[in-house]
Amino acid sequence: MHSLFNSGLVYLLFVGSVGAISFSVAGRARHATPVLYKRNSTPDPSNGSISLQDLLDTIYFCNLTLSGEPFEVSIDTGSADLWIVGNIPAAHNTSIHANLTYGQGSSTGFINTATLVFDEFEINDQSYIHADSVIQMVQDIPGTGLIGLGPSKGSAILKLLNSSAGDPPLDRIFKQNSSTPNILTILLSRNEQNSTAPEMSSELVPLLEEQPGQITIGEVIAEYEEITKQPRLPALVDGTGLNQHWMTVLDSNGIIGPDGNRIKTLSTNTNLTQGKSDQLRVVFDSGFSFPQVPASIADAFYGRVPGAFFNQNLSYWQVPCGYELNASFIFGNIEISIHPLDMTAFNNVDETTGQDVCLGWFQPIAETIASDPNFGSFDVILGAAFLRNAYLLINFGDFVDESNSSVADPFIQLFSTVNRTAAHLDFVNVRLEGKDTTSTQRPLLPDSEAQTSGENSSNLVTLLDDSDNSGHEPFYRRTWFIIVVSIAGAIMLAVVGWIIYTLTQRTRRSNIRSENAFVPSMGSYKPLLTKDDHSTNGEHNDQSTTGYRDPYTDHPREP
């Protein structure tokens, strides 16, 4: 892998079929050797597993060959196509051009065919895209690429070739090996992390909750055979018919927040084929490093943490690194606990206070995704930060291309891999220098003092209990609040009345209107731009730039 550290910054692109996030993470300057890349020990080949390599807990890679040429490709359960960067002399060019466009970034090139070897399965004439242009994606150097592990309905290659010759690799494997169960399993690793202690900042802290990253095709990892006994969650057919993902439903009000209470949830989807309106539609997408949740869920996770605030420019929550948070997701009445190190990620050191600053792994979902039906009908994207906490099994069922009616419906199973006691100790060792001070950390703020993500917030979720942790009524129902609002309202009415009276008197004294009377006396005030104000003397007017940053780019969005 090429180095992603550039001038003290790590620029990562987190790709999923429903979009991509370009995210800038500041490198910890005091670290002598930042953790870039970890190869897990090769799993026992007898269980048919493929080892995954872990890049900063953000992207996971595996190895495959095309006509004998080795490639290191990221795994993406949110898309279905295989593409690579690099030459394969024995490949056949179909002369059909394909363009894969993500929320940000793209990969384009001609569809080629070659012999693929993946997890010891050999597939002749496998279709893939030989990328000659890769924009804003990590996999942009020879020897790298991406393999889509999602349903074939989302395959651009299959649509262009319009025949089984365009089937994705997993569909080809299942169809070619009829005795192999149509299952894929994924277990993501968690990187050892640098200590936050200045004197230990160059040392890696071993984790108790460490597991080798691997995927299997057709069988499960022996140590996690219990997954086959877990509830079978329905793999939902996308209601829009425009896209297809590995999607299922959370339980009703199926998220437990840091305060230990369930959060009331309401799906934004109106065309519900399965489940109820209080069950969120969830997509499992390993290509998303940072899970995407409704803004109000992210607010419930981080908004009550003392010292936390929402960074409007970069659209993420900023949280003190030493504050331990816990949350859980419930599927089929099974609770999947989130490791506290997967709730927040180290970002930088505050130059003023010298304190470590973390960002929330769970980010408010972008409005461009949530409101665009072309992305599909879902509420949540659970990416790598969630998947590190559960072993995932996907049974493709009749989602395999050209399956007949006798094939069973697809389903999903999850098995929690987190030991809460060990996870807590990991947090103490990494973030608190091995000294457990969590019992004395400041309590969560009451709801009345909670921060929100501002205009990104929505009314999708609220706490089931209207009372705060003290058991009192919400502040807006209390007598003092009603009195204060009433007095403030009376004062505002008086001020408005006085302004109207003053302006009326001024109008009577003069027929000439003074525009200056309506310009606020603020040094920062600038007039609103009209269509004709965007340029002056042929030059672009800088005031036309809004400064708003799209959460899916590092640059200000064009107006």
Per-residue pLDDT band for 76 (boundaries 50, 70, 90) equals very high
Tell me the two tokens of residue 188.
Answer: 């993501």
* pLDDT value of residue 494: 53
Average pLDDT over residues 390-419: 89
Count of positions (residues) in the chain: 559
Question: How far is Cα 79 from Cα 278, in angstroms, rounded to an integer?
Answer: 27
Q: What angle do CA 522, 525, 527 make, to 5 degrees?
A: 145
Average pLDDT over residues 504-532: 30
Most confident of the following: 257-266, 350-359, 391-400: 257-266
Distance CA 431, CA 337 (A): 19
Structural contact between residues 335 and 420, judged by C-beta atoms closer than 8 angstroms: no
pLDDT digits (tens, 9 = 90+) for 179-199: 889 999 999 999 887 666 555
Residue 265 and residue 278 in contact, taking contact as beta carbons nearer than 8 Å: yes
pLDDT band with cut points at 50, 70 and 90 for residue 519: very low
Q: Band the pLDDT of 281: cuts 50, 70, 90.
A: very high
pLDDT (mean) for 236-241: 73
Cβ atoms of residues 72 and 62 within 8 Å? yes
At 178, the pLDDT band (50, 70, 90 cuts) reads confident
Q: How confident is the model at residue 309 (pLDDT cuts 50, 70, 90)?
A: very high
Asked if residues 397 and 408 have their Cβ atoms less than 8 Å apart, the reply is yes
Q: Band of the pLDDT at 398, cuts 50, 70, 90? A: confident
More confident residue, 427 or 456: 427
C-alpha distances in Å from residue 338, one per residue of 11, 52, 247: 25, 21, 19
User: Measured between alpha carbons, how far is 432 from 425 in angstroms, rounded to an integer?
Assistant: 10
Rounded CA Rg of the chain: 27
pLDDT band at 27 (very low <50, low <70, confident <90, very high): very low
Q: What is the mean pLDDT of the chain?
A: 76
From the list 132, 131, 160, 136, the residue with the least C-alpha distance to 146 is 131
For 2-24, write each residue's pLDDT tens digit: 322 222 223 343 344 433 332 33
Q: What is the DSSP string of 531-542?
A: GGGSEETTEE-G
Is the pLDDT at 142 greater than 60? The verdict is: yes
Q: Is the pLDDT of residue 29 over 90?
A: no
User: Whole-angstrom Cα distance, residue 362 to residue 338?
Assistant: 11
**What pLDDT score was predicted for residue 440?**
95
Q: Is 25 helix (H, G, I), strand (E, B) or coil?
A: strand
Expressed in angstroms, the distance from the first to the final Cα of the chain is 37
Are 168 and 100 spatial neighbours (Cβ–Cβ below 8 Å)? no
Q: Which residue's structure tokens are 């196509």?
A: 81
State how far the Cα of 196 lies from the Cα of 112, in Å rounded to an integer. Answer: 48
- Flag whether pLDDT at 276 surpasses 80: yes
Residue 256: what pLDDT?
A: 98
348 vs 114 pLDDT, higher one: 114
Rounded average pLDDT over 132-156: 91
Q: What band does 136 get if pLDDT is binned at 50, 70 and 90? A: confident
Q: Convert the pLDDT of each residue in 408-443 to its tens digit.
A: 889 999 999 999 999 999 999 999 999 999 999 999
